């Protein structure tokens, strides 16, 4: 994008905005095909109102693009189930493979599609065509998946799901199942709930089940599950609309209250409680969630705020340690804010090494450089995050624990900034 147009933040965020718009159009088309015009329109309105979708519509990441691709892959799937043809299946495979190449966990949506195809009870040639398309996607993804195994340390920061994540994981599918009871009969080759429920439930469940072996559950990795929730919520809203037509005043008021309750479920309070700015998020009845999401307090990784916090505690002669080294990425937003501090572990900068985090010195050199300083500012993960087990991170922690004492610590978004000094020098 920046190779074509260096438009700053607009160029960074515009693809995500357009992707969510495309996803909303795709959800309208899906809902219309599976359950009728009103269901499609209401589902398309619900999708961009969902707080996770709003959040990633304004971030320069791939998750909104994946959501759009999975939406249109679902449209192609429904079309291919009703009018099987080679072109349709090839297009379906190409679109979902593109989503998987943007993020490998998009392959979980392929599993959900497989369950939907099974529930559609299509003819054997149709299911065979889907299996061929799915096999092509897996073959195309295999080289990237094999390469990714060499970089598994990049997700070592993911911890075991906490109570808030588990609550959100359980509550959202339960709502989806409740909404599915209002879904009407199939108007296409498959019922709305037969497609929406697997999209909503399966990817989250499969990712959550990996937690005992290797924690990988992060809600943004399965953002496309919101497609299923939007379709089910649109079906529920359409049923409420139909119930209110021709009814008396009392029944209309009841439907209006039910509608308000449905809309209230679109605010994930359990998620908000775990994030900075959670008080604003919880008071969604007074302050719209969309407003809260656009305030600095909602940013999990506010690199500018982190840089300012480091500047506030820094004194002449202080040195800097990133624990773990991947947190050096926070310097990329405002590198000038860190130039007065000596990065003790750094061997080559990200630019010089053509890496995102730079390269670090051997463990003995890191230890030697730490011991030359009287004060060190450590930029760390928040409390409760798993500690990296590699030798460089271990020597940083052991040296600070043995020869320094903790003077002060503060948390800024997702960074914990701690000042260490030699005993008696705090």
**70 touches 109 (CB < 8 A):** yes
pLDDT, one tens digit per residue, over 63-118 is 999 999 999 999 999 999 988 888 999 999 999 999 999 999 999 999 999 999 99
Q: What is the pLDDT of residue 264?
A: 52
Would the pLDDT of 51 be above 90? no
Average pLDDT, integer, range 162-171: 82
Tokens of 205: 């469940």
Whole-angstrom CA distances from 3 to 7, 18, 216, 395 are 10, 18, 33, 40
Q: What is the pLDDT of residue 392?
A: 92
Would the pLDDT of 365 be above 80? yes
Whole-angstrom CA distances from 47 to 64, 67, 213 are 12, 11, 32
pLDDT, one tens digit per residue, over 251-303 is 555 555 555 555 554 444 434 433 444 434 433 443 455 555 556 555 566 77
Q: What is the pLDDT of residue 281?
A: 41
| pLDDT band, very low/low/confident/very high, at 180 (cuts 50, 70, 90) | confident
Would the pLDDT of 7 be above 80? no
| pLDDT band, very low/low/confident/very high, at 184 (cuts 50, 70, 90) | low
Average pLDDT, integer, range 127-144: 94
Q: Which residues lie below 8 Å from residue 324, measured CB to CB, with a gap of 6+?
A: 157, 381, 388, 393
Q: What is the pLDDT of residue 11?
A: 81
Residue 282 to residue 270: CA distance in whole angstroms: 9
Q: What percent of the chain has pLDDT over 70?
A: 84
Residue 2 to residue 280: CA distance in whole angstroms: 34
pLDDT, one tens digit per residue, over 301-356 is 677 788 888 888 888 889 999 998 888 888 877 777 788 888 999 998 888 888 77
pLDDT, one tens digit per residue, over 28-49 is 999 999 988 999 999 999 999 8
**253 touches 265 (CB < 8 A):** no
């Amino acid at each position: 994008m920046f190779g074509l147009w260096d438009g700053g933040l607009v160029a960074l965020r515009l693809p995500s905005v357009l992707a969510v718009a495309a996803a909303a159009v795709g959800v309208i088309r899906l809902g219309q095909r599976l359950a009728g015009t009103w269901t499609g329109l209401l589902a398309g309105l619900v999708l961009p109102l969902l707080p996770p979708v709003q959040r990633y519509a304004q971030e320069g990441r791939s998750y909104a693009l994946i959501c759009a691709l999975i939406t249109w892959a679902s449209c192609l799937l429904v079309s291919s189930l009703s009018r099987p043809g080679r072109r349709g299946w090839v297009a379906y495979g190409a679109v979902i493979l593109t989503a998987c190449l943007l993020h490998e966990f998009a392959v979980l949506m392929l599993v959900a599609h497989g369950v939907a195809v099974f529930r559609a009870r299509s003819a054997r040639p149709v299911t065979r065509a889907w299996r061929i398309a799915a096999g092509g996607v897996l073959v195309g993804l295999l080289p990237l998946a094999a390469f990714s195994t060499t970089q598994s340390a990049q997700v070592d920061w993911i911890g075991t799901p906490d109570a808030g994540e588990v609550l959100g994981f359980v509550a959202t599918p339960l709502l989806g199942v409740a909404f599915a009871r209002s879904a009407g009969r199939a108007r296409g080759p498959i019922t709305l709930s037969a497609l929406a429920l697997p999209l909503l439930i399966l990817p989250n469940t499969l990712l959550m089940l990996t937690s005992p072996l290797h924690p990988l559950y992060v809600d943004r990795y399965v953002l496309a599950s919101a497609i299923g929730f939007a379709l089910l919520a649109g079906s529920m809203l359409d049923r409420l609309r139909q119930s209110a037509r021709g009814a008396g005043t009392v029944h209309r008021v009841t439907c209006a209250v039910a509608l308000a309750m449905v809309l209230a479920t679109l605010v994930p309070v359990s998620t908000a409680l775990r994030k900075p700015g959670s008080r604003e998020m919880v008071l969604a009845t007074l302050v719209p969630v969309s407003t809260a999401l656009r305030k600095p307090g909602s940013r999990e990784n506010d690199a500018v705020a982190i840089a300012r916090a480091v500047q506030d505690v820094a004194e002449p002669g202080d040195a800097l340690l990133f624990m773990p080294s991947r947190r050096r990425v926070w310097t990329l937003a405002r590198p000038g804010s860190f130039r007065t501090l000596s990065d003790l572990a750094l061997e080559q900068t990200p630019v010089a090494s053509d890496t995102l985090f730079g390269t670090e010195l051997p463990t003995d050199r890191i230890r030697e450089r730490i011991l030359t300083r009287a004060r060190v500012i450590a930029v760390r993960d928040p409390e409760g995050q798993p500690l990296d087990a590699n030798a460089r991170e271990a020597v940083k922690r052991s040296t600070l624990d043995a020869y320094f004492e903790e003077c002060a610590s503060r948390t800024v978004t997702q960074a914990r900034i701690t000042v260490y000094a030699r005993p008696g020098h705090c």
